[in-house]
Structure 1
Amino acid sequence: MKKIFAVFGDPIEHSLSPVMHNAAFKAKGMDCTYHAFRVSREKLKDAIKGAHAMGFGGLNLTVPLKEEALKIVEPDLLAAVMGAVNTVDLKDGIRGYNTDGIGAERALVDAGVKIEGAKVLIVGAGGAARGISFQLASDGADVTIANRTPERAMRLAEDVAVAGNVKGCGLEQLDDLIASADVLINCTTLGMHPQVETTIATAEQMHAGLVVFDIVYNPLKTKLLMEAEKAGSKTVSGVMMLVYQGAEAFRIWTGVEPPVEVMKEAVMGALRT
């Protein structure tokens, strides 16, 4: 009997997780299928319980469900400390994990970024920012979280400060924060399809020594990354974070080594069309 996997989110139309995971299942000869479902925060508990009852193999969670899921699943220690869940395994109960941090770390390392000692500015304070800030602080980065609502950024910084050096603030001093940063990471939905003309920063605010990482992957080259290129900054696409966090989820669900290159090619192919 075919095993079903899925991603829940709201909105969800932009997600390329089905393309990526279905390519991985096919490459491994596994009788599995992966779908996307629009699920609101209010309906998340019913949706997760329903997926478990129907025998789904596992789930991914995206905006705005990652923090809400913590109240529903049995999180592993890392997800509990991070305060967000993006992967749910349904083999034995309802277990939650967070693979966002490792996905972001591997994407940055692939791009030649030395994380230890780097001054990292994260814009946004949602579920993805939780996982990424925790991981990079654990790796020795000096992390600043800036958010439109300063109190939310400061609460997040307090939550993940156990991992390392993390502080939170508002966006009032964004120019100065970017000027002193080594790495700028967009953890908001600004620039995501269909609002492709929005960005957290412009070329005038960036500098040539900056690495700009946008976790938005659709479109492939976001407005932020185009502005970064104008400034001479190094750019890192969100595609590889998607691939690496998805690969780790695949490993959790199946116990099988994920076909990373197949997953990457599937996503890139979909973005080129």
Structure 2
Amino acid sequence: MMPIDAETSLYGIIGHPVRHSLSPIIQNLAFTSYNINAVYLAFEVTELSGAIKGVKALGIKGLSVTIPHKINIMSFLDEIDIMAQKIGAINTVVNRDGYLLGFNTDWLGALLSLKEKTEIKGKRFVILGAGGAARAIAFGLKKEGAEIIIVNRTYEKGCALAKEINAHAFPWEKLPVLAGDVLINTTPIGMWPEIDTSPVDEKVLAKFELVMDTVYRPLKTKLLQMAEKMGCNTIGGLKMLIYQGAEQFRLWTKKEPPVEKMLKVAEKFLEKEN
């Protein structure tokens, strides 16, 4: 990292909690790779309106946005990207001299991860969950011509998302009778510290060729371990995190992100935890 001085540009992630975030490690590596005089920090934010005033007043050039602010931040922005409007959530802000633009790169991170392992058009995707990550992934998949099934513990919420994208929704209890090409978990089930839990059992996994988990802590969740034993191809959540972060870097700097370096530094950090 370059020495911090009066010319250093400031970027960061806002949310609550964010102390666990890998984004500072990933983004600071990217800035260093280009010798960009910038630093990326994590900001614990509970009062969003005050934080946005601070962004403008201090000239913070860009933000990553995470839970619980992805939806509420939309009302503070001057312009919102069309895809982000459809998804209804923001995870990236670009500050152009006080004019705040909002984007969502989560959907792109998911699609790039999936395209490494499978075709999307015409394939059947079963998505577990109907929250922010599920929305981003569902809209991205729809854009690519996928067939989508939403399965959520709160059936009404799943139905609402399915209606928006002209998809199908089923209650959680129907999971054992569903089948498809790709299963995607967007729920926090299996996330550290509850690492011995999985959203589905092996009988469900047997009906899919590819299983993706958006959880990246641990690197290989219980769900992915079970899927591998059943002969499924798998995608871990870290790839999605890296790809969405890489697109943020591109939006902020107009430079090609060093994706492989970003992935390696994140993997190295997570391996130390295990």
- TM, length-normalised to structure 2: 0.91
Equivalent position of 1:85 in the other structure: 90
Equivalent position of 1:224 in the other structure: 223
Rounded Cα–Cα distance in structure 2 between residues aligned with 1:66 and 1:140: 26
**One-letter code aligned to 1:45:** S
Equivalent position of 1:172 in the other structure: 173
Note the alpha carbon deviations across 1:10-33, whole angstroms, 9 max, x for none: 332332111110110111101111
RMSD of equivalent CA atoms = 1.6
- Would the aligned equivalents of 1:64 and 1:127 in 2 still touch at CA under 8 Å? no
Equivalent position of 1:19 in the other structure: 25
SS in 2 for 1:120: strand
1:139 paired with 2:144, answer yes
Note the alpha carbon deviations across 1:19-62, whole angstroms, 9 max, x for none: 1101101111011111222334xx22322332232111111112
- Would the aligned equivalents of 2:183 and 2:208 in 1 still touch at CA under 8 Å? no
**One-letter code aligned to 1:238:** G
Rounded Cα–Cα distance in structure 1 between residues aligned with 2:57 and 2:170: 42
Note the alpha carbon deviations across 1:156-186, whole angstroms, 9 max, x for none: 2223x2xxx4223321211122xx1211111
**One-letter code aligned to 2:235:** V
Equivalent position of 1:123 in the other structure: 128
- TM, length-normalised to structure 1: 0.91
* Alpha-carbon distance, 1:209 to partner: 4.2
Any gaps of 5 or more consecutive residues in structure 2? 1-6
Equivalent position of 2:238 in the other structure: 239
Rounded Cα–Cα distance in structure 1 between residues aligned with 2:71 and 2:174: 27
The correspondence of residues 58-69 of structure 1 with structure 2, limited to 5 A, is 58-69=62-73
**One-letter code aligned to 1:72:** F
**One-letter code aligned to 1:212:** V
- Would the aligned equivalents of 2:176 and 2:203 in 1 still touch at CA under 8 Å? no
Rounded Cα–Cα distance in structure 2 between residues aligned with 1:245 and 1:131: 11
Rounded Cα–Cα distance in structure 1 between residues aligned with 2:207 and 2:151: 21
Any gaps of 5 or more consecutive residues in structure 1? none
SS in 2 for 1:173: helix
* Alpha-carbon distance, 1:230 to partner: 2.1
- Would the aligned equivalents of 1:208 and 1:232 in 2 still touch at CA under 8 Å? no
* Alpha-carbon distance, 1:240 to partner: 1.2
| 1:108–1:207 CA distance, 2 compared to 1 (3 A) | same
1:32 paired with 2:38, answer yes
Q: 1:94 aligns with which of 100, 103, 106?
A: 100
- Would the aligned equivalents of 2:61 and 2:94 in 1 still touch at CA under 8 Å? yes
Rounded Cα–Cα distance in structure 2 between residues aligned with 1:31 and 1:145: 44
| 1:64–1:189 CA distance, 2 compared to 1 (3 A) | farther
* Alpha-carbon distance, 1:138 to partner: 1.0
**One-letter code aligned to 1:219:** P
**One-letter code aligned to 1:232:** G
Rounded Cα–Cα distance in structure 2 between residues aligned with 1:208 and 1:150: 22
1:70 paired with 2:74, answer yes
SS in 2 for 1:172: helix
Rounded Cα–Cα distance in structure 2 between residues aligned with 1:64 and 1:118: 32
- Would the aligned equivalents of 2:180 and 2:207 in 1 still touch at CA under 8 Å? no
